[in-house]
Amino acid sequence: MSEGTIKKFMFVNRKAPYGTVYALEALEVVLITAAFDQDVSLVFMDDGVFQLKKGQQTKGIENKNFSPTYRALDGYDIEKLYVEEEALAARGLAEEDLLVDVTVMSRAELGKLMEEMDVVLTF
């Protein structure tokens, strides 16, 4: 990538926040990408919607609760957060249950948005 070239990156989060390293690794890659002034979008689908759920308690599973980091994303100019409407509904969640402001979109709308990206990475 030449200096000054901005690519559109989309990071798709499909995994629950704990039990694997995927969610935390995705968040770290997102922050690194944003540090290089790239156009970053985050999508939460399937069990990935749980990454944004308010009130996460991790004491019993001996994992650090990294969910507050999502509230700091706008400080890195990461403001494009999308949540799959069908995933929320299937898990009994609503937009009000989430830590941060998101745009809720249907699976079909997200598919169209993905087509506009230069890079799509799924975690």
Per residue in 59-108, pLDDT tens? 777 777 788 889 889 888 899 999 999 999 999 999 999 999 999 999 99
Q: Would you call 53 exposed, middle or buried from its count of C-beta atoms within 10 A (0-12, 13-18, 19+)?
A: middle
* 3 in any annotated domain: no
How far is 80 from 101, CA to CA, in rounded Å?
Answer: 9
Residue 13: both structure tokens together: 């989060």
Query: Does 49 map to a domain?
Result: yes
The pLDDT value recorded for residue 63 is 75
With respect to residue 1, please indicate whether it lies within any of the assigned structural domains.
Answer: no
45 near 10, Cβ under 8 Å?
Answer: no
For residue 98, being part of any structural domain is answered with: yes
Q: Establish if 88 belongs to a structural domain.
A: yes
**CATH code for the domain in which residue 110 is found:** 3.40.1260.10
Please check the confidence at residue 3 and state whether its pLDDT lies above 80. no
Number of domains the chain is built from? 1
Domain residues for the domain of 14 are 8-122
pLDDT computed for residue 107 by the predictor: 97
The neighbouring-strand residues paired with 109 are: none
Question: Angle at Cα 16 formed by Cα 62 and Cα 32, nearest 5°?
Answer: 85
Mean pLDDT of the chain: 92
What average pLDDT does range 10-17 have in this prediction?
96
Q: Residue type for 57, please? A: Q
